[in-house]
Amino acid sequence: MAQRVRETIHQKISIDDVPEASRKLRDNFRAGKSKPVEWRYAQLKGIQRMFNENKKEIIQAVQKDLGKAVTFEVVSSEINLPLGELAETLSHLSSWLKPERVVTNLATIPASSSVIREPVGTVLIISPWNYPVNLAIVPLIGAIAAGNTVFLKLSRHSENTGRTLENLLPKYVDTNCITVESEGGAAMITQLLKEKWDHIFFTGSVNVGRVVYEAAAKNLTPCTLELGGKNPCIIDSDVDVDFAAKRLVWGKFWNCGQTCIAPDYLLVQRGVEEKLIACLFMSFQEAEPHKTRSSMKLDLVPPS
């Protein structure tokens, strides 16, 4: 039997509305609305249905924001990964929630000891623009599976995807416990960070990560920070240079070059650099045949 989609219209949240939105989520958590296992399964299955029923709309939104002409790339990076996370969570959630027996301290015998996993409370998720679906939905899945209420702040820089998700999600999840908003930039995030959260999940730059961490420290709020970095790739004389070049081009230009673990620079053994550069050009031309050699540029930093 097909499940009906709620005809819910997204209610925009302004900066002034943030304290009330946060209070509503906290009150509903304290009332125990997000803790039942049945509620968690219902939300996760709702998100799964959202993808299955609106796949084309989500793909088109991402393509408008990031210019990904190849549908396969959008499906691989933004659709399949969250769906895989959902399948894994739905399959194992009941076993994850079972009490785990552990060794009892000698001083407390004959008592028995168990680890019982409880939700932390109200969670703030701040997602980035470069993986606007994947890095918004995957942490949301984890927060819901753990029984938390959630404020999901989508990036305003991927406006088409943000608008699509904030219109779709309320039709499939419990809006009393899950709030979604895409509008507002730094001012909105600053206001959100003034509120008391029980966990903050942030994906973005190191500089903004420091701001998030500093704000969280005032309330001793634990954080999960997924930040960018520098990722060298070492090429020596023992590698298959042609094969390495193909992997480098794929890894660097996947998702329009916007991946936090993409190779940033190469450390190349003397005597290999000329062959590597030639192979990189060839691999790039295979991947982007419409571009000419004169339109490509590879910078070589000589060793000091």
Which residues are catalytic, by number? 226, 260
Tokens linked to 193: 């960070």
Residue 61, phi-psi category: left (phi > 0), alpha (psi -120 to 50), beta (remainder): alpha
Answer for the pair 256, 66: CB distance below 8 angstroms, yes or no. yes
Q: What is the largest CA-CA distance in the chain?
A: 77
Q: Pairing mode, if any, of strands 100-102 and 113-115?
A: antiparallel
Residue 97 main-chain phi, psi, to 5 deg: -85, -10
Integer angstrom CA distances of residue 248 from 173, 252, 267: 40, 6, 13
What is d(CA 285, CA 204) in angstroms, rounded to the nearest whole number? Answer: 31
